[in-house]
């Protein structure tokens, strides 16, 4: 893998040289008759970037809310024409009406069979010298990247559309080389019904266009999974010089209040690992059906409104998406088997930002909760499961989203923290700064990370090498023995009060004044299992968990509610499951319900009507639990 890039450059160089002044007279080779195979470089793409990389994309799309279709053209510019005249792109459920040169000359193309996970390869025959082409196409109403919302599913009275391209969904709305190994710049013209506003992972408007036509450009090269579009009744409010929020009018001022510290976060991040490379950092709050907490679309993080707790207590999520501006968007995982390169580094960076802003005690709470998540996911997947390796070995039949877990996040975090604690923070920070600089706007796989770590940090120190246990982390299961164990002093009073409560003190008598939501989460996670109805009532009477506006706490509480058949939880669970589409909450709650026959019955009943309100990504996960 590691040498591929060099080989690729050589190929480009030769291709480029042979074109200079020679009129590119390579003999056209015949298309091999074999069916398209997944890329040698990325098991989750059909594309052949080793033959020709897409360097620039120009989208011209019309958004049709009635038909739930995007239609128009994608024009692709290649760095050099493929030597065998064959370009393969990824698509999924796209209707391709024509492929042509930019002057309109039609080009022969075929849509291969493909598979369920990867979609269909679009094979295009290009004449010699062709460095640009145009594809006329439309999306399917069931495109997996797109969620079309009715006005009832929003906070206003207009329909809404948003995309979610990571991991391999971009191909369902743009024909592209859908692999994080390839980067391109892009520009777009998007036509929407006025008065709606369109925003993208690009330069963005702050005012509505009366004709509904918006133009965008993204001048820094990005991988396809960072292509993003949202259309709705959106307004903008500034929160700082480089920062601001977009949201529906009913949510805007609440969102701007909650995110008032964003500019300070950008500054803290720059202080740690170097200049912010993307000009602006804005956050778009989506309607509640957004399936993730956040998505690091460049220049414009997409976020769930479930972090608007009203007390700025869930901002680590913004720190996380901001941190991706370095780890992920600048230095990108080469394949989805290397996801920890994006997510593990980002969790590490997120906690460093939170430490800079809120202090060490605060970030240690996040880290300890993270360790609990790590233990839970290892327990769930099994201590010897290959899915607990940092580097995964998924093949082309397996959608990376189907095995999404906390492993790349928390095991990745604890590896980096183990390195930090072994070599010292100063030395590790120097390494990270040079890492972000060295690999900016490139994609690297786990092997490349290891080789740069060994070269730039370990530097031949044999005892350091053996102390780090890198193989155990990367290709071994479970939690390696040199993992740091976190002990947050802020959780000590929580544990003391828990002990008082379990030994009979009434909940109302506990000393909980001034606890923040992480302390409450720690409390909720360590309640006894099972609890009696009397105990549940005692807690709820004192702390009103069933009606809390904090989504993290509600989720944790309702899990106890279901497990202990606590009657007031019934309507609350149903209300929560119908009010938002964040997979992180839907998945455990539906799973918990499904543990008993009556619960499964109820879960299926709720899901039957709620399913249509969830994003295809969440639907796929929940279908697996409830198999409707
Ligand atoms: N990039 C991820 C979301 C993602 C990962 C989407 C893999 C599809 C495939 C995003 O940055 C993320 O990690 N979101 C988390 C929040 C975070 C604070 C852990 C989420 O949505 O819960
Ligand atoms: Zn992330």
Residue 584 beta carbon below 6 angstroms from any ligand 1 atom:
yes
Check if 409 is active-site: yes
pLDDT per residue as tens digits for the range 512-564: 999 999 999 999 999 999 999 999 999 999 999 999 999 999 999 999 999 99
Instruction: Write down the pLDDT at residue 628.
Output: 73
Residues with CB under 5 Å of ion ligand 2 are 343, 346
**Active-site annotation holder among 137, 371, 409, 614:** 409
Q: What whole-number distance in Å separates Cα of residue 214 and Cα of residue 189?
A: 6
Instruction: Write down the pLDDT at residue 18.
Output: 35
Say how many Å lie between the CA of residue 192 and the centre of ligand 1: 28
Residue 399 beta carbon below 6 angstroms from any ligand 1 atom:
no
Whose C-alpha lies nearest to ligand 1, atom 14?
294
Residue 162 beta carbon below 6 angstroms from any ligand 1 atom:
no
Ligand nearest to the CA of 402: 1
Say how many Å lie between the CA of residue 367 and the centre of ligand 1: 17
- The token duo for 53 is 């990389």
Residue 406 beta carbon below 6 angstroms from any ligand 1 atom:
no
Say how many Å lie between the CA of residue 449 and the centre of ligand 1: 21
For residue 23, pLDDT beyond 50 = no
Residue 321 beta carbon below 6 angstroms from any ligand 1 atom:
yes
Question: From residue 404, how far is each of 45, 356, 503 by CA, in Å?
Answer: 18, 29, 39
For residue 34, pLDDT beyond 60 = no
CA angle 506, 511, 516 (to 5 degrees): 120
Say how many Å lie between the CA of residue 276 and the centre of ligand 1: 20
The domain spans of the chain are: 13-232, 235-325, 333-475, 489-626
- The token duo for 42 is 């990325």
Provide the mean pLDDT of the chain: 94
**What is residue 262's three-state secondary structure?**
helix
Say how many Å lie between the CA of residue 456 and the centre of ligand 1: 29
What's the pTM?
Answer: 0.94
Residue 294 beta carbon below 6 angstroms from any ligand 1 atom:
yes
Q: Which ligand 1 atom is nearest residue 321's CA?
A: 11
Residues 6+ apart with CB under 8 A from 388: 377, 378, 381, 382, 407, 411, 477, 478
C-beta separation of 294 from 582 below 8 A: no
Average pLDDT over residues 244-262: 98
Whose C-alpha lies nearest to ligand 1, atom 15?
293
Residue 325 beta carbon below 6 angstroms from any ligand 1 atom:
no
Q: Which ligand 1 atom is nearest residue 324's CA?
A: 11
Residues 6+ apart with CB under 8 A from 367: 351, 413, 417, 486, 488
- The token duo for 360 is 């060490």
CB count in 10 Å sphere of residue 360? 14
Instruction: Write down the pLDDT at residue 134.
Output: 98
Residue 161 beta carbon below 6 angstroms from any ligand 1 atom:
no
Instruction: Give 40's pLDDT tier (boundaries 50, 70, 90).
Output: confident
Instruction: Write down the pLDDT at residue 56.
Output: 98
Q: Which of 293, 298, 313, 409 to mutate to test the pocket of ligand 1 (most atoms within 8 A of CB)?
A: 293
Say how many Å lie between the CA of residue 295 and the centre of ligand 1: 6
- The token duo for 516 is 């923040």
Q: What whole-number distance in Å separates Cα of residue 316 and Cα of residue 290?
A: 18
Average pLDDT over residues 469-474: 98
Instruction: Write down the pLDDT at residue 291.
Output: 97
Check if 321 is active-site: yes
Q: What CATH topology corresponds to 235-325?
A: Zincin-like (3.30.2010)
Say how many Å lie between the CA of residue 489 and the centre of ligand 1: 28
- The token duo for 187 is 């520009």
Residue 293 beta carbon below 6 angstroms from any ligand 1 atom:
yes
Say how many Å lie between the CA of residue 410 and the centre of ligand 2: 11
The domain 13-232 is classified under which CATH number: 3.40.50.720, 1.10.150.120, 3.40.50.300, 2.60.40.1730? Answer: 2.60.40.1730
Q: What CATH topology corresponds to 333-475?
A: Neutral Protease; domain 2 (1.10.390)
Say how many Å lie between the CA of residue 42 and the centre of ligand 1: 21
Q: Which ligand 1 atom is nearest residue 296's CA?
A: 11
Q: Which ligand 1 atom is nearest residue 350's CA?
A: 18
pLDDT per residue as tens digits for the range 147-195: 999 999 999 999 999 999 999 999 999 999 999 999 999 999 999 999 9
Instruction: Give 439's pLDDT tier (boundaries 50, 70, 90).
Output: very high
Average pLDDT over residues 585-611: 98
- The token duo for 326 is 């370095």
The domain 489-626 is classified under which CATH number: 1.25.40.320, 3.90.1150.150, 3.10.310.10, 3.30.1370.30? Answer: 1.25.40.320
Instruction: Give 36's pLDDT tier (boundaries 50, 70, 90).
Output: confident
- Residue whose C-alpha is closest to residue 290's, from 464, 106, 393, 161: 161
Q: Which ligand 1 atom is nearest residue 292's CA?
A: 21
The DSSP 8-state label assigned to residue 436 in this structure reads: H
Instruction: Write down the pLDDT at residue 5.
Output: 33
31-35, 155-159, 314-318, 500-504: range with lowest mean pLDDT: 31-35
Whose C-alpha lies nearest to ligand 1, atom 11?
295
For residue 11, pLDDT beyond 70 = no
Ligand nearest to the CA of 286: 1
Angle formed by the axes of helices 360-381 and 412-423, nearest 10°:
130
Residue 59 beta carbon below 6 angstroms from any ligand 1 atom:
no
The DSSP 8-state label assigned to residue 144 in this structure reads: T
Residue 327 dihedral angles phi and psi, to the nearest 5°: -85, 100
Residue 44 beta carbon below 6 angstroms from any ligand 1 atom:
no
20-24, 92-96, 269-273: range with lowest mean pLDDT: 20-24
**CA 310, chain centre distance (Å):** 24
C-beta separation of 393 from 337 below 8 A: yes
Ligand nearest to the CA of 339: 1
Instruction: Write down the pLDDT at residue 22.
Output: 33
Strand ranges (E), 287-424: 294-295, 300-303, 331-333
Residue 333 beta carbon below 6 angstroms from any ligand 1 atom:
no
**Active-site annotation holder among 321, 343, 355, 364:** 321
Average pLDDT over residues 60-67: 98
Average pLDDT over residues 202-207: 98
Ligand nearest to the CA of 582: 1
Ligand nearest to the CA of 301: 1
Say how many Å lie between the CA of residue 468 and the centre of ligand 2: 25
Q: Which ligand 1 atom is nearest residue 291's CA?
A: 21
Quote the percentage of the chain above a pLDDT of 70.
95
Instruction: Write down the pLDDT at residue 3.
Output: 35
């Amino acid at each position: 893998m590691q040498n591929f890039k060099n080989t690729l450059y050589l190929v480009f160089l030769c291709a480029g040289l042979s074109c200079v002044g020679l009129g590119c007279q390579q003999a056209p080779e015949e298309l091999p008759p074999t069916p398209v195979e997944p890329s040698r470089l990325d098991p989750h793409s059909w594309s052949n970037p080793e033959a020709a990389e897409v360097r620039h994309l120009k989208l011209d799309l019309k958004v049709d809310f009635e038909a739930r279709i995007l239609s128009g053209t994608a024009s692709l510019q290649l760095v050099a024409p493929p030597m065998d005249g064959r370009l393969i792109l990824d698509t999924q459920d796209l209707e391709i009406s024509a492929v042509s040169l930019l002057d309109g000359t039609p080009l022969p193309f075929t849509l291969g069979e493909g598979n369920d996970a990867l979609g269909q390869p679009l094979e295009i025959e290009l004449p010699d010298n062709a460095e640009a082409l145009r594809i006329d196409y439309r999306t399917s109403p069931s495109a997996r990247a797109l969620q079309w919302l009715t006005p009832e599913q929003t906070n206003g009275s207009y329909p809404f559309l948003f995309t979610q391209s990571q991991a391999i969904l971009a191909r369902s709305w743009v024909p592209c080389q859908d692999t994080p190994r390839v980067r391109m710049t892009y520009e777009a013209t998007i036509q929407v019904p006025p008065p709606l506003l369109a925003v993208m992972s690009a330069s963005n408007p702050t005012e509505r266009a009366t004709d509904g036509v918006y133009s965008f450009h993204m001048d820094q090269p990005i991988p396809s999974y960072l292509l993003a579009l949202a259309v709705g009744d959106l307004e903008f409010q500034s929160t700082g010089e480089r920062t601001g929020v977009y949201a529906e009018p009913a949510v805007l001022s609440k969102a701007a209040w909650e995110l008032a510290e964003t500019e300070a976060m950008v500054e803290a991040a720059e202080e740690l690992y170097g200049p912010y490379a993307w000009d602006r950092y804005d956050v778009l709050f989506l309607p509640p059906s957004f399936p993730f907490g956040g998505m690091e679309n460049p220049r414009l993080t997409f976020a769930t409104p479930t972090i608007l707790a009203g007390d700025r207590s869930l901002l680590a999520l913004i720190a996380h998406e901001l941190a991706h501006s370095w780890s992920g968007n600048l230095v990108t995982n080469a394949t989805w088997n290397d996801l920890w390169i994006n997510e593990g580094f980002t969790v590490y960076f997120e906690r460093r930002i939170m430490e800079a802003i809120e202090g060490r005690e605060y970030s240690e709470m996040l880290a300890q909760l993270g360790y609990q998540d790590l233990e839970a996911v290892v327990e769930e997947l099994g201590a010897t499961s290959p899915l607990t390796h940092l580097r995964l070995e998924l093949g082309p039949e397996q959608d990376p989203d189907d095995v999404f877990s906390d492993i790349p996040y928390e095991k990745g975090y604890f590896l980096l923290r183990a390195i930090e604690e072994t070599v010292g923070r100063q030395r590790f920070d120097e390494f990270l700064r040079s890492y972000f600089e060295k690999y900016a706007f490139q994609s690297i796989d786990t092997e490349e990370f290891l080789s740069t770590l060994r070269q730039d940090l370990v530097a031949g120190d044999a005892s350091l090498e053996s102390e780090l246990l890198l193989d155990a982390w990367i290709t071994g299961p479970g939690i390696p023995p040199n993992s740091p164990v976190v002990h947050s002093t802020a959780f000590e009073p929580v544990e003391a009060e828990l002990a008082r409560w379990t030994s009979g003190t009434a909940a109302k008598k506990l000393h909980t004044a001034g606890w923040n939501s992480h302390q409450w989460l720690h409390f909720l996670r360590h309640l006894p299992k099972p609890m009696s109805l009397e105990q549940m009532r005692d807690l709820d009477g004192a702390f009103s968990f069933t009606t809390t506006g904090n989504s993290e706490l509600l989720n944790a509480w309702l899990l106890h509610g279901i497990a202990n058949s606590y009657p007031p939880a019934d309507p609350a669970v149903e209300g929560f499951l119908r009010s938002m589409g964040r997979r992180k909450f839907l998945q455990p709650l539906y799973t918990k319900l499904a543990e008993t026959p009556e619960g499964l019955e109820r879960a299926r009943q709720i899901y039957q009507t709620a399913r249509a309100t969830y994003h295809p990504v969440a639907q796929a996960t929940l279908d697996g639990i409830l198999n409707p």
